[in-house]
Amino acid sequence: MCGQRVQIFGFVHRCRQQRKDLIVVLRDGTGFLQCVLSGVLCQTSEALTLTTESSVCIYGTVCFFLFNLFTRVGRDRLNVSFIFSYGGSFFFFLFSFFTRRREYRSHPPLLFTLNQVNKPPKRKTAPGGVELVADFWTLIHGAPPGGIDNVLNAEANSDVNLDNRHLCIRGENCSEILRIRAAVTRAIREHFYSRKYVEVCPPTLVQTQVEGSSTFFSIDFFGEQAYLTQSSQLYLETCISSLGDCYCIAQSYRAEKSRTSRHLAENSHVEAECPFITFEELMNKIEDLVSDVVERVLSDPEVSKLILQRWKTSKKKFPSFKRPFLRMTYADAIEWLRKNNVNNKEGKPFNFGEFIPQGSGRQMLDTIGQPILLNRFPAGTKASRCEDEDMNTSRCEDEEGKKKNLTESVNFLLPGIGKVVGGSMRIWKEKEILEAFKITNVDPKHYYWYVDQRKYGGCPHGGFGLELERFVCWLANQDHIRDVCLYPRFIGRCAP
């Protein structure tokens, strides 16, 4: 590529005057490239008023960064601008002209994306990289004076940043996170594909509840009462008889009033459902998904570089994902909290049946310091994973097959984040599900299709839901879940 004359399009990411040159760092979504505009090129009114985020088209010759640096330093010192500013590129141009004459005859120069020119994509042009010595350029669209710094600068608080999320995502940090998120989503799809799951696309406008009526978003659906879905679980359950193992990546909605660093009103939910499995197999599947996805993501050198760099700068240790993950029952967790003097809200030791709040759970998790599959929550108590868990979660059985007061439920917890996956085995017999509806005050009217699943060839089955933003938040070592959303939705924020 060095010595080749190319045409590139991009947005001005940064620009600065350096002595008599204009140094422009271009961005086009594929990468970044430093371009040097010298002589008359940087003396036009468009060059003198060029601002960040303007879009441009530049023609020029690709040169080694070090070589140009040398010629520019030399030029500045000796003040013979023309010869030295083009010295490096001219040398390469001549060299390439004779070695690649055929390419040069093709006119106009070939159009390249920035990562094709600057391989591998670099965050900043560094010694050893390449830069473009421009010989012609045009302004496609000029951004206002001051560029993006008018809006997003050191004084911008979190509300200003959120109001201008559409501009924030152009930044290096935000766009890196979006890339990591895309890599995670791709790895999840690859995982499920490799395990022969079928992807489906359930509706998000529904008339049924899954995870408790207190977090419903109600809507008027042409005069009928409807809701934004909290989970696609019930719909996935209807697919297992025809498709076997299946999954979806869909939006879920919770009218969550808490403004925490872990809660959203709209989140991307990765859910799966599998027929003919046991509770142990369900936990194996969660473990397989998480560890395989981490492995797949880290096997991409570019993405792994982005992720590991984030962990390195924060000086946190990237956790080990050795299988099997630690499996801890709810009863063991209560025991652990008592032994380690972690008390409940009243400052008293925890008792079996009590809900383990986020703070105490995090304390336990961060002390243990490894991923945990916390399982078998007690039924019919506040300790259940959610208020309507008893609506469809099956009970554990003892050796004689008698139902215990524990549910076949599991939460997958990650240190530093907390719960990332919730899953359970489902009540699969018609009579039992109707009884459970009665106990939990669920009107079966809107659930006839769900009950039919248990009428026409029911089978033991289970599934889980992984909250994508929490998972990406953990992997990208971000503090706040909002930072990993394209446009986060939470109480008080529904725009842009």
Kindly state the smallest distance separating residue 161's Cβ from ligand 4AD, in Å: 20
CB contact at 8 A, 253 and 264: no
Instruction: Specify whether the CB–CB gap between 416 and 316 falls below 8 A.
Output: yes
Asked if 264 interacts with ligand 4AD (CB under 6 A), we say yes
Q: From CA 328, how far away is CA 344, in angstroms rounded? A: 19
Phi, psi of 211 (to 5 degrees): -120, 40
Q: Which CB, 10 or 371, lies closer to ligand 4AD?
A: 371
Among 210, 246, 283, 417, binds ligand 4AD (CB under 6 A): 210
CA-CA distance, 477 to 312, in Å (whole number)? 10
User: Least distance (Å) from ligand 4AD to the CB of residue 352?
Assistant: 21
Q: Measured from the CB atom, is 135 or 271 closer to ligand 4AD?
A: 271
The answer to whether residue 421 forms part of the interface with ligand 4AD (CB under 6 A) is: yes
Joined together, the tokens standing for residue 253 give 């909605």
Least separation in angstroms between CB 409 and ligand 4AD = 9
* Sites for ligand 4AD among residues 65-104 (CB under 6 A): none
Enumerate residues 6+ apart whose C-beta is below 8 A from 249. 185, 188, 189, 199, 268, 269, 270, 468
Contact call for residues 458 and 429 (beta carbons, < 8 A):
yes
Answer yes or no whether residue 465 interacts with ligand 4AD by CB under 6 A. yes
**Cα–Cα nearest to 65, from 39, 92, 95, 46:** 92
Which one of 26, 162, 386, 473 is in contact with ligand 4AD (CB under 6 A)? 386
Residue 248 within binding range of ligand 4AD, rule CB under 6 A: no
| Binding status of residue 384 toward ligand 4AD by CB under 6 A | no
- Candidates 233, 394, 407, 477; binder of ligand 4AD (CB under 6 A) is 233
Q: Quick one: which of 130, 184, 420, 485 contacts ligand 4AD (CB under 6 A)?
A: 420
Omega of the bond leading into 120 within 30 degrees of 0 (cis): yes
180: helix, strand or coil: helix
Shortest distance, CB of residue 273 to ligand 4AD, whole angstroms?
Answer: 7
Instruction: From 5-13, 147-155, 188-196, 414-422, give the range in contact with ligand 4AD by CB under 6 A.
Output: 414-422
* Closer of 34 and 411 to ligand 4AD (Cβ): 411
Amino acid identity, position 88: G
Residue of 481, 478, 495 lying closest to 159 (CA atoms) = 495
**Torsion angle of C-alpha atoms 274, 361, 180, 490, degrees rounded to 10:** 90
Cis peptide before 460 (omega within 30 of 0): no
Nearest of 375, 388, 373, 384 to residue 420 by alpha carbon: 373
Which pairs with CB-CB distance under 8 Å and at least 24 residues apart come from 217-225? 217/253, 217/254, 217/255, 217/265
Nearest residue (CB) to ligand 4AD, 89 versus 267 = 267
Closest residue to ligand 4AD: CB criterion: 422
361 interacts with ligand 4AD by CB under 6 A: no
The correct pick among 27, 181, 263, 461 for binding ligand 4AD (CB under 6 A) is: 263
Shortest distance in whole angstroms from residue 445 CB to ligand 4AD: 21
What whole-number distance in Å separates Cα of residue 162 and Cα of residue 164?
Answer: 5
- Region from 320-328, 370-378, 417-425, 427-435 binding ligand 4AD, contact rule CB under 6 A: 417-425
Instruction: Verify binding: residue 442, ligand 4AD, rule CB under 6 A.
Output: no
Q: Which is nearer to ligand 4AD, 378 or 465 (CB)?
A: 465
**Residue of 271, 388, 408, 483 interacting with ligand 4AD (CB under 6 A):** 271
Count of H-run helices and E-run strands, the chain: 16, 19
| 389 in contact with ligand 4AD (CB under 6 A) | no
Q: In the complex, which residues of this chain contact ligand 4AD (CB under 6 A)?
A: 210-211, 231, 233, 254, 256, 263-264, 267, 271, 385-386, 419-423, 463-465, 467, 470
